[in-house]
Amino acid sequence: MKKQKYVKDSFTIMTELVLPNDTNTLNNLMGGRMMHWLDIVSAIAAQKHSNRIVVTASVDNVSFKQSIKLGSVVTLEAQVTRAFNSSLEVHVNVWAEDIPSGTRIRSNEAFLTFVAVDQSGNPIDVPEAIPETEEEIKLYDGALRRRQLRLVLAGRMKPHEANELRSIFNLE
């Protein structure tokens, strides 16, 4: 039987302060810096789940809902949503806080996929992810659709093979 781990055990929080070197000419956090932080926090979550070295396989659906200003405190919360054979999907929520004004907004959300590898860089199996809460179950259930969509878009799966996406491609 394949090893199992609760998705809550991968939960990772990272906090950063937006400094002048992190901003663009409008004094907003640069998207590239945000993506760097997303990659770090989600890789840590994936490693916590797999107990393995992980490599980034894909970054999809990074949405930039609100700009983040210079001086803001940024909190990134990452958690594995589902594990497949050697790959893991990680969901990240990003919060921006202006401490002097007391405001906190959800500014970004992203899904990243990682592959666990051995010391030689070969893919290796990961534990099954067990969701418990309503939100964890919702993200877990949607992960297969997101995975199949990634594979179709990458040309690694034919649309008619993506059972979870049949209604999207009108293949019913």
pLDDT of 172 higher than 60: no
Q: Per-residue pLDDT tens for 102-135?
A: 999 999 999 999 999 999 999 999 999 999 999 9
Among 5-9, 37-41, 106-110, the minimum mean pLDDT is found in 106-110
Q: Per-residue pLDDT tens for 127-170?
A: 999 999 999 999 999 888 888 878 777 777 677 777 776 666 55
Number of H-type helices and E-type strands within the chain: 2, 7
pLDDT at 20: 98
**Which residues contact residue 120 at a Cβ distance below 8 angstroms, ignoring those fewer than 6 apart?**
none
What class is the 4-131 domain? alpha beta
Using an 8 Å Cβ cutoff, are 137 and 143 in contact? no
